[in-house]
Chain A
Amino acid sequence: QKEVEQNSGPLSVPEGAIASLNCTYSDRGSQSFFWYRQYSGKSPELIMFIYSNGDKEDGRFTAQLNKASQYVSLLIRDSQPSDSATYLCAVRGGGFKTIFGAGTRLFVKA
């Protein structure tokens, strides 16, 4: 079982719709959860982090965490073509290591 799993996609949504990206993790001791966005040929950049159960909103982005289900998601409201990228879920336990998922490719159609 992979430590951090994401659907590779591509996930295709029309412009203005809500994109829902999901991630599950295997280590119940995980403490911090991150969503990074990576455009083709570029480096990952942080979108949001979350470490408490529930929802966390930042502009058009909402991260949701459910530690009991070992599940974290990212919702993108009013999706724009500029949101088209690969979204990486990253999970950190009690040590220094952060485990990245393989990423979900999102394509927003104009």
Chain B
Amino acid sequence: DTAVSQTPKYLVTQMGNDKSIKCEQNLGHDTMYWYKQDSKKFLKIMFSYNNKELIINETVPNRFSPKSPDKAHLNLHINSLELGDSAVYFCASSQEVSGGGGRNTQYFGPGTRLTVL
């Protein structure tokens, strides 16, 4: 009954390869996110989808392409992997509530540790 799940948990690959990370949430939320957490533990937003529509697209190399087939799923595809892509990638979800407040709390998946050799 995991709320936000990600696969794979660990990903080790060579430079230049293409890889995908998958995320699924069973919380019924309408918004999903991808974050990158680097070696200094800084958590940075990459993308966000609300009801399958891309709403946040930060300054991320176009080698990264998110895809949301439905509200419960958000995948991240990375082309031509580089050494600097090594990080932990977190998926998160939230339910957008008009007026906000704390009701837009984000729930995080367990993370995918990507190592590019």
Contact = CB atoms under 8 A, between A and B. Distances in A.
Interface residues of B, number: 25
Contacts of A42: 110-111
A38 B109 CA distance: 12
Chain A binding surface, main DSSP class = strand
Interface residues of A, number: 24
Contacts, number: 61
Given A43-B90, A44-B43, A96 B50 contact: yes
A31 B108 contact: no
Contacts of A53: none
A45 B111 CA distance: 12
B48 interface: yes
Interface of B: 31, 35, 40-45, 48, 50, 55-56, 90, 96, 100-102, 104-111
